[in-house]
Structure 1
Amino acid sequence: MSDSSRESAPRSTTGPNRRSLLGAALGGCAGLLVLDLRTAAAAAMPRSSTIADTGAWGARAPKATIDVLGHAPSKIVVHHTATPNSTDYSRAHAFALARSVQDHHMDNNGWIDTGQHFTISRGGYATEGRHRSLAAVRDGSRHVVGAHTAGQNRLAVGIENEGTYNSVDPRDTQYTRLVELCARLCRRYGIEPHEIYGHRDFNATDCPGDRLHALLGQLRSDVAAEVGGDPTGVSWPLLRPDDEGEGVRILQYLLNEHGASLTADGIYGLATESAVGDFQRSTGAIVDGLAGNQTWNQAVRERGSGDRGPAVRAVQHRLGTTVDGIFGPNTETVVRSFQSASGISSDGVVRVRTWQALVG
């Protein structure tokens, strides 16, 4: 499966119609969502801090095998469904929402299953989205490949929040549940609070809405209060044509890691501008030829002992050691020294904080 939010499974043309219309055509993550209000008896169920799995809310079977990776995700991406801000806060509504999202993703988008891993209703109920997501969290060392953020589906857990948050904030109950879920994921997977992002930090979309996106700094802080760690959000310099320097050279190496064929000369010329545009197009980012937050967020990948390739060359060139593209003991040693000097946890692994310091 490609690392994008679009899946290749064929659209279903058979099976029961399980949807009733609620809402209009929507942008952002979810598109047109409609709710099936069956299983009304669920309204009598008590509130619970647990996540309702796919069996609890009556999910359809996926169209194809769910891809489960043998490593933990490294980040969380927050979304909104871009649906009406319902005043039905019941568990029955949350279950109906989960079914409607799955129906839309499978029948309209042609995906194999729900795209995101988890959904939080406006009533504060959390449901499992893509099958096997909850089992992967319980395992703590596996990640289900989703379809929620182009370029990040093999790396990030996706959380949808019911509603549209361009001009209003989520309900307190919903936000509290989001903090709890993010804290659980961070604890289980070892994700740092600063690795909580919004969909628009990677792709050309307004998701998760202006107001929810503006709350992400508070979300990171609230999660850090629960699990520890650094809540300061990730930000990058804006590089543009005619810029020169080590930041440009690192960018060129990273673009080569993703399939470009640039000379890493540290000069942001026409070839680099074109490669940036191609990379942005391939990852669903805003295509402008300028290397800003979306481009950097999509380009950086964790690198450590045993890794090879242009990204390792970027690290080696920047730190003045042998540039052979092999992350061996010597590279690890100089990375540790650089981290220590930069006030970063000295573990010899190049994660986002170390990349930020390398770029400068």
Structure 2
Amino acid sequence: MPDMSISRRGLMRGGIVVSAAAAGATVIGTTTAALAAAPEPSLHSTAQWGARPPSEPLTTVPNRPSYIVVHHTATSNDVANTQAQAYTLARNVQSWHMSQGWGDSGQQFTISRGGYIMEGRHGSISKLRGGTTFIRGIHAGAPANGESIGIENEGLYTGVQPPGALYDSLLNLCAHLCSQYGIAASKIFGHRDFMATQCPGDKLYAMLPQLRADVAEKLGQQPPPPTWPTVKKGASGERVRSIQYLLRQAGDTTAVDGAFGPGTETDVREFQTAKGLTVDGVVGPQTWARLVVVSKQGASGEAVKAIQRQLNNNHGISTTVDGAFGPGTTTSVRTFQTRRSLVVDGVVGPITWQALVG
């Protein structure tokens, strides 16, 4: 049994040290009030890392941002964890973004693999300290650019998780942003939630529910409840594999390749037709609710494989993927439920499914 005095972040971070979607609009709700204060982490200004002056005037948005958008730089993971490397990264990102005609770095903040947090777009630190306005970015398309703070994270996270130093800095920065601007922890999203992109990588994107929970813990909030994601043609990764396994559990012959292509879309449409659902080929809340199968010790089959792969590949909980829900899988599920502050019963029902794939 885990030591219950350990925070959710402490439990999850152990998995980071050991190991290192879908486009479309996201509905942004209102923020919550009365957040606990989170201290300002160490921030390195544009002057400190030697930024070029912006090539055009930057826009101040005359209100608070409503949410945070997480990115990855899609650059090498084989770099030094030094301040010098962090500053080189910031200069390279700025040069690339200015070459695209963006006037400055597109994102407000950048975090290196060594955990250094740098101001990206000029003026972002001073606006954050004021807590009432922010510098408009160019990082996630309209309308997100004028409503959100963008954070670039150094590295490529399609197949590995970010290092602990980066995650800790991301957590501390998000907590401070939320407390300064009155943003709820549930309003932390990935780039792919707004544009057709793989950013911030399958592994980092899969960690966002944990990030929201860890930020909520720092702010004294209740962890946000798990929700069903919306997945459609063009998406890829472990979430798509789960859909494919569940379609096979329902009797289809869907190929399990992690790519939501025409074949998977056709099988989703056939499943929706059979269940009397809206036939759009998109796996949203109603389709997820009919796809998932309540599973517990003694179960077997394709749905169990989906559970085991999610635990093993997306959540850092070592689990044998054999389609048999035995004592080992039960232990893994209980560990996952403990980390997510769910009912710890070893049964994968709708709430645990939502947390696994959300």
TM superposition score category, shorter chain reference? 0.5 to 0.7
Cross-structure match for 1:212: 204
Matching of residue 60 in structure 1 with residue 52 in structure 2: yes
| Whole-angstrom CA distance in 2 between matches of 1:224 and 1:114 | 29
Compared with structure 1, are the counterparts of its residues 234 and 198 closer, same or farther at alpha carbon in structure 2 (3 Å cutoff)? farther
Of stretches 194-203 and 231-240 in structure 1, the one that deviates more from structure 2 is 231-240
**Counterpart secondary structure, 2:71:** strand
CA 1:120–1:146: 2 relative to 1, 3 Å = same
Shift in alpha-carbon separation, 1:200–1:138, aligned structure 2, 3 A: same
Aligned mates of 1:230, 1:122 — CA distance in 2:
29
Matched, 1:87 2:42: no
Matched with 1:140 is: 131
The alignment-based identity, stated in percent, is: 48
Task: Give the letter aligned to residue 54 of structure 1.
Answer: T
Partner of 2:152: 160
Query: Which of 162, 169, 174 is matched with 1:182 structurally?
Result: 174
RMSD: 2.4
Give the distance between the partners of 2:200 and 2:230, measured in 1 at CA. 23
The one-letter code matched in structure 2 to 1:139 is G
SS class of match (1:110): coil
Per-residue deviation, 1:230: 4.2
Is 1:130 aligned to 2:121, yes or no? yes
3-state DSSP class of the match of 2:68?
strand
Which residue is 2:102 aligned to?
111
SS across alignment from 1:105: helix
Residue segments in structure 1 that go unaligned for 5+ positions in a row: 1-47, 241-287, 294-360
Structure 2 CA distance for aligned equivalents of residues 50 and 182 of structure 1: 13
- Change in Cα spacing, 1:83 to 1:226, as seen in structure 2 (3 Å) is same
- Whether the aligned pair in 2 keeps the contact of 1:238 and 1:290 (CA below 8 Å) is yes
CA distance in 2, matches of 1:237, 1:86: 32
- Matched residue, 1:150: 141
The letter for the 1-side match of 2:167 is Y
Q: Distance in 1 between matches of 2:189 and 2:229?
A: 17
Distance 1:291 1:117 in 2: 33
CA offsets, 1:217-269, max 9 Å, x none? 110111111112343268578699xxxxxxxxxxxxxxxxxxxxxxxxxxxxx
| TM-score normalised per structure 1 | 0.52
Q: For residues 230 and 81 of structure 2, what CA distance do their matches in structure 1 show?
A: 42
Deviation, 1:74, is 0.8
Q: Who is 1:194 aligned against? A: 186
| Amino acid aligned to 2:159 | S
Tell me: higher relative CO, structure 1 or 2? Use CA pairs within 8 A at least 6 residues apart: 2
Distance 1:214 1:239 in 2: 13
1:173 counterpart residue number: 165
Which residue is 1:277 aligned to?
none
Give the Cα–Cα distance (whole angstroms) in 1 for the partners of residues 231 and 88 of structure 2. 45
- Tell me the secondary structure at the aligned position of residue 149 of structure 1: coil
| Cα pair 1:217 1:231 within 8 Å, conserved | no
Specify the code of the residue in structure 1 equivalent to 2:157. Answer: Y
TM-score calculated relative to the size of structure 2 = 0.52
1:229 paired with 2:221, answer: yes
Give 1:177's aligned amino acid: S
Mapped contact 1:116–1:147 kept (Cα < 8 A): yes
Q: CA deviation at 1:292?
A: 5.9
Partner Cα distance (2:165, 2:96) in 1:
26
The letter for the 1-side match of 2:89 is: L
Q: CA deviation at 1:50?
A: 1.2
- Per-residue CA distance 1:78-121 (angstroms, 9 max, x = gap): 000000103300001100100000000002x1111000000000
Secondary structure, counterpart of 1:87 in structure 2: coil
Native 8 Å contact 1:116 1:129 kept in 2:
yes
The amino acid of 1:147's aligned partner reads I
* 161-170 vs 227-236, greater mean Cα deviation: 227-236
Conserved 8 A contact 2:116-2:169: yes
* Aligned partner (choices 102, 111, 122) of residue 120 of structure 1: 111
CA deviations on 1:289-325 (whole Å, 9 max, x unpaired) are: 96969xxxxxxxxxxxxxxxxxxxxxxxxxxxxxxxx
- Distance in 2 (CA, whole Å) between partners of 1:201 and 1:290 is 15
Q: How does 1:1-360 map to 2 (within 5 A)?
A: 49-107=41-99, 109-151=100-142, 152-232=144-224, 235=227
For 2:176 and 2:160, how far apart are their aligned partners in 1?
26
Cα distance in structure 2, aligned partners of 1:238 and 1:169: 22
